[in-house]
Amino acid sequence: MCPKPATSSCRTCWKGEQHGRHSVSWRPGTRKSSGRRRSWALAWWRWQRRPGGLLPPSSRQTQTWLRSSCRQAAPGQALMAQVGALVQDLGVLEQAVGMQELSAQRAIAASRTLAAGLRRDLQGTRGFTQLRDQAGSARSLATSAVSRGKAALSGTESLLASLEGMRKVLGHRKGQAALSRRMAHVRDRTMVEAQKKIKQAEKMLGNSLSVSTAAKGTAGEAKQVAGESTKRAQAALRGSKQAHKHAVQLAMRANETQRELARQERMTEELRGGLEEAEQVGTEVSEMAKSLQEARSSLMKDIKTLNDLLSSLGDLEQGTQVEAALGAGRLQLEKLRLRLAAPGALAQRLSRLQQEAAQQQEKIQAFESDLAEIRADKKNLEDILRSLPEGCSEWQ
DSSP string, 281-312: HHHHHHHHHHHHHHHHHHHHHHHHHHHHHHHH
Helix axes 59-169, 343-386, angle to 10 degrees: 20
Rounded Cα distance, 199 and 288, in Å: 127
Catalogue the E-assigned strands of 2-136. none
**97 contacts 375 by C-beta, under 8 angstroms:** no
**Cα 177–Cα 183–Cα 188 angle in degrees, nearest 5:** 125
Q: What CATH architecture is 60-133+223-393?
A: Up-down Bundle (1.20)
pLDDT recorded at residue 57: 47
pLDDT recorded at residue 168: 64
**315 contacts 37 by C-beta, under 8 angstroms:** no
CA distances from 331 to 313, 316, 324, 341, 342 (A): 15, 18, 11, 15, 19
Rounded Cα distance, 167 and 173, in Å: 11
CB-based contacts of 315: which residues, under 8 Å, 6+ apart?
Answer: 34
pLDDT in tens, the chain (396 residues): 445 454 444 444 444 444 444 444 444 444 444 555 556 666 666 665 555 544 444 445 555 554 555 555 455 566 666 666 666 766 677 777 677 777 777 877 777 787 777 777 777 667 667 766 776 776 777 677 667 767 767 776 776 676 666 666 655 555 566 666 777 777 777 777 777 777 776 666 666 566 666 666 766 776 677 677 677 767 767 776 776 777 677 778 767 777 877 777 787 777 777 767 767 766 776 776 677 677 667 767 766 776 666 666 555 444 455 566 556 666 766 665 565 555 555 556 666 766 776 776 787 677 677 777 777 877 777 777 677 666 554 444
pLDDT recorded at residue 158: 73
Backbone dihedral angles phi then psi of residue 311, each to the nearest 5 degrees: -65, -35
One-letter amino acid for residue 109 of the chain: A
Q: Which of 55, 334, 319, 112 is nearest to 236 (CA)?
A: 112
**205 contacts 149 by C-beta, under 8 angstroms:** yes
pLDDT recorded at residue 17: 44
pTM of the full predicted structure? 0.30
Q: Which of 191, 183, 189, 186 is nearest to 167 (CA)?
A: 183
- The count of other CB atoms within 10 Å of the CB of residue 234 is 11
Rounded Cα distance, 221 and 393, in Å: 34
- The count of other CB atoms within 10 Å of the CB of residue 49 is 12
